Structure 1
């Protein structure tokens, strides 16, 4: 049996502002924007090339046995790209504030690219949810 990660819930305060951020600035595709029941709206967006989407929700009760996260509490969700500098340039050109490209070195985080799997940048959405972008070898994009 396969277990696939398909959707990550992102807690936000303003659905329209967040939709604009993720679609227009980060470049995710809007798959769905609908009211599934009175007062319950779901916006689903997918990063280019990904099978996993994010969902922004308003009015949805938490799933049984879970708790609702406050906006800004989601931290460290990681996206992978094959060219970290191109990703940084694209995000910057779209108006996203991003960190410099960094890697983990002898003294912790250091500026500049590292070896394979060791180049990262970070950004946050308007609510403070924090994202990590990691450069991954291009041969993995074919899996």
Structure 2
């Protein structure tokens, strides 16, 4: 089973400097730079060919102290199998949750909307999402 990391929140002190570094020095694609008033700005950048993006910003980005990182996400093709594997390893993980609705038919009813949630020993929050087939 493939388990892929999809999003990592990266704390920065200067959003423009960080955006320039990731985009120009590393060649990341700027997916979006969203400003919502004076207090919130979110920039998402993705390495070429990667399924994992980094997010930098202010206002909606949690402080980076142990236990403060929320939103780390893994993707698996079978959320129920993933849950069983985690439970077998002794991880306290909740039930599969359905969040939202698919805008079009999917190969499996849990694709895109099936999630599991758990925390690491520090309280950093993780999500696991089912995506069995990518278009």
TM range (shorter): 0.3 to 0.5
Normalised by the length of structure 2, the TM-score is: 0.46
Normalised by the length of structure 1, the TM-score is: 0.44
